[in-house]
C-alpha cells in the first residue's frame, strides 16, 4: 500500500509539472507566437488566414505529442525510481514489521551508496543495536534468575533440613542461612546500582575532588582483602594531588568496583599496579594485574552486564558480573571512556575522564 501511494504521488508530481509546462507553451503560442506569425505574414503581403490556422494546429499537435511522450517518460522513470528508491523503502517497511514482531536479525540489503543506501545502512545499524539490547535483556533475565536460584535453593535446603530435624538449630546453621541471605541482598543491590548507573547522566553533582586521596581511601577499605590474598598495591604516576571535577559518590563507586575487581581476580601473592596519568584535557586511571584466566577474546566483553569469560569464575569469586558494567555506565555519564587491554600476560582495566577547560 505504501509502495502504491508513493508511485501515485510521484506520477502526480510529474504530470503536474509536464501539464503546467504544456499549458504555458500552449498559451505562449496562441498569444505571442501566433500574433508574431500574423504580423510577419502581413509584412510580406501574404494572407495569414489559412497559414495561421495550419501553423497553430501543427504546434498544438506537436504539443499534444510532446505531452504524451512526457507522460510515457514520466511513467517509465517512475517505475525506475520505484526500483531504486521505493523498493528498498518497501523492504525496509516489511523488515520494520519483522523487528516489531521480535525478529531482530532481519536486515535491509544495501545495493547503492546514495542517500537510500545510507538510510539502509543506518537502519541496519539500528537493528544491530536493537538485537544487541534484546540479547543483553535475555541474558540479564537468565543470569539474574540463575544467580537468585543458587542462594534460594540453598536457603530452601537448610530450612527443609531444619524442619525435618536433619540439621540441628545450631549457630553454624543460622550463620550459613545468613550468608546466603546476604548473598541475595548483594545481588539485588548490584542490580539496583546498575539501574541507577543507567540514569546517572542527568543527576550528577560534580565537585572538585582529589582523585589520588580518594583512591588511597578506597584502598584502605580493602586492606583486609588485600592481606588475605597477600596482594601488594603500587600507585604510580602523579606524586602531587590530582584534582578533577566529578560526582564524589559516583567516582567513589567507580574506584571501589575497579579495586574490588582487581582484588577478586588477581592471583594470590601478586601485585596490583595503579597508574594515575594526567594530561591537559583528561585524567587516566589504570589498574594492572596478572591476567589469570582472562583471554584476549574477553576484552571487548568485560564491561558487558553479567559477562563471564569463564562461566564459573564470577560465582567462584562471589560476584555477579555487574561491577564493571556499573563502572562503564558511570564513567560514560561523566563523558569519559573505559578501557580493557591485555599486554604480556598483564590485564589493564581503567577509565579516562575529561577535565573541563
Query: Which domain-ending residue is among 151, 182, 198?
Result: 198
25 and 79 part of one domain: yes
Establish if 58 belongs to a structural domain: yes
CATH of the domain at 228: 3.30.565.10
Q: What is the pLDDT of residue 174?
A: 84
CATH of the domain at 174: 1.10.287.130
168 and 280 part of one domain: no
3-state secondary structure of 315: helix
351: enclosing H helix or E strand: strand 346-354
Task: Provide the number of structural domains found in the chain.
Answer: 3
Q: What is the pLDDT of residue 313?
A: 44
Establish if 350 belongs to a structural domain: yes
* CA terminus-to-terminus distance, the chain: 54
Q: How far apart are CA 231 and CA 234, in angstroms?
A: 10
Q: What is the pLDDT of residue 137?
A: 74
Q: What is the pLDDT of residue 34?
A: 59
Q: Which three cell numbers stand for residue 179?
A: 550468608
Residue 157 structural domain? 143-198
Q: Which three cell numbers stand for residue 226?
A: 588485600
332 and 217 part of one domain: yes
Establish if 182 belongs to a structural domain: yes
Residues ≥6 apart with Cβ < 8 Å to 310: 293
Quick: pLDDT tens for 312-357.
Answer: 444 444 455 678 888 998 898 888 999 999 998 899 999 999 987 6
Establish if 119 belongs to a structural domain: no
171 and 235 part of one domain: no
347 and 255 part of one domain: yes
Query: Which domain-ending residue is among 52, 81, 103?
Result: 103
Q: How far is CA 308 from CA 146, 170, 287, 294, 349, in A?
A: 14, 36, 19, 9, 15
Q: What is the pLDDT of residue 156?
A: 87
Q: How far apart are CA 165 and CA 50, in angstroms?
A: 124
* Chain center to CA of 7: 35
242 and 334 part of one domain: yes
Helix pair 323-333, 248-265: axis angle to 10 deg: 150
Establish if 47 belongs to a structural domain: yes
Q: How far is CA 163 from CA 61, 104, 191, 204, 222, in A?
A: 104, 49, 32, 49, 39
Establish if 108 belongs to a structural domain: no
Low-confidence ranges of the chain (pLDDT < 50): 1-2, 309-318
Establish if 21 belongs to a structural domain: yes
Q: What is the pLDDT of residue 186?
A: 74
Q: Which three cell numbers stand for residue 282?
A: 583528561
Q: How far apart are CA 230 and CA 228, in angstroms?
A: 6
- The closest of 237, 191, 189 to 215, measured between CA atoms, is 237
Query: Which domain-ending residue is among 163, 198, 233?
Result: 198
Q: What is the pLDDT of residue 311?
A: 45
45 and 165 part of one domain: no
Find out whether 212 and 276 touch, Cβ atoms under 8 Å: yes
Quick: pLDDT tens for 271-309.
Answer: 999 999 888 888 999 999 998 777 787 887 788 766 654
Q: What is the pLDDT of residue 48?
A: 57
169 and 287 part of one domain: no
Find out whether 254 and 327 touch, Cβ atoms under 8 Å: yes
72 and 189 part of one domain: no
Q: What is the pLDDT of residue 314?
A: 46
Beta strands in 135-218 (DSSP E): 206-210
Establish if 126 belongs to a structural domain: no
Find out whether 218 and 259 touch, Cβ atoms under 8 Å: yes
136 phi/psi in degrees, rounded to 5: -65, -35
Q: What is the pLDDT of residue 115?
A: 72
Helix pair 115-164, 171-198: axis angle to 10 deg: 160
243 and 339 part of one domain: yes
176 and 235 part of one domain: no
Q: Which three cell numbers stand for residue 206?
A: 560534580
Q: For residue 356, give the DSSP letter.
A: P
Q: What is the pLDDT of residue 352?
A: 95
228 and 348 part of one domain: yes
Amino acid at each position: 500500500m505504501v509502495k502504491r501511494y508513493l508511485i501515485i504521488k510521484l506520477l502526480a508530481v510529474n504530470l503536474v509539472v509536464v501539464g503546467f509546462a504544456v499549458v504555458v507553451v500552449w498559451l505562449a503560442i496562441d498569444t505571442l507566437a501566433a500574433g508574431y506569425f500574423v504580423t510577419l505574414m502581413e509584412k510580406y503581403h501574404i494572407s495569414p488566414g489559412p497559414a495561421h490556422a495550419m501553423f497553430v494546429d501543427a504546434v498544438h499537435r506537436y504539443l499534444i505529442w510532446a505531452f504524451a511522450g512526457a507522460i510515457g517518460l514520466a511513467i517509465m522513470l517512475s517505475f525506475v525510481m520505484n526500483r531504486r528508491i521505493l523498493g528498498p523503502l518497501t523492504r525496509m517497511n516489511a523488515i520494520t514489521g519483522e523487528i516489531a514482531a521480535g525478529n531482530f536479525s532481519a536486515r535491509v540489503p544495501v545495493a547503492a551508496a546514495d542517500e537510500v543506501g545510507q538510510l539502509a545502512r543506518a537502519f541496519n545499524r539500528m537493528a544491530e543495536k536493537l538485537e544487541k539490547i534484546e540479547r543483553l535483556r535475555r541474558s540479564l533475565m537468565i543470569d539474574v534468575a540463575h544467580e537468585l536460584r543458587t542462594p534460594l535453593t540453598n536457603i530452601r535446603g537448610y530450612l527443609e533440613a531444619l524442619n525435618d530435624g536433619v540439621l540441628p538449630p545450631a549457630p553454624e546453621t543460622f550463620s550459613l542461612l545468613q550468608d546466603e541471605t546476604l548473598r541475595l541482598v548483594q545481588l539485588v543491590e548490584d542490580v539496583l546500582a546498575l539501574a541507577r548507573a543507567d540514569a546517572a547522566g542527568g543527576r550528577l553533582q560534580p565537585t572538585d575532588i582529589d582523585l589520588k586521596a580518594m583512591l588511597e581511601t578506597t584502598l584502605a577499605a580493602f586492606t583486609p582483602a588485600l592481606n588475605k590474598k597477600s596482594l601488594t598495591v603500587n600507585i604510580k604516576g602523579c606524586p602531587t594531588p590530582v584534582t578533577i571535577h566529578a560526582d564524589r559518590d559516583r567516582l567513589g563507586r567507580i574506584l571501589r568496583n575497579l579495586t574490588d575487581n582487581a582484588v577478586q581476580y588477581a592471583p594470590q601473592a601478586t601485585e596490583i599496579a595503579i597508574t594515575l596519568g594526567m594530561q591537559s584535557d583528561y585524567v587516566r586511571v589504570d589498574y594492572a594485574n596478572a591476567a589469570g584466566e582472562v583471554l584476549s577474546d574477553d576484552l571487548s566483553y568485560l564491561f558487558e552486564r553479567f559477562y563471564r569469560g569463564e562461566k564459573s569464575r564470577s560465582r567462584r569469586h562471589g560476584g555477579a558480573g555487574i561491577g564493571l558494567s556499573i563502572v562503564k555506565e558511570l564513567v560514560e555519564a561523566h563523558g569519559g571512556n573505559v578501557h580493557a587491554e591485555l599486554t604480556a600476560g598483564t590485564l589493564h582495566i581503567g577509565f579516562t575522564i575529561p577535565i573541563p577547560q
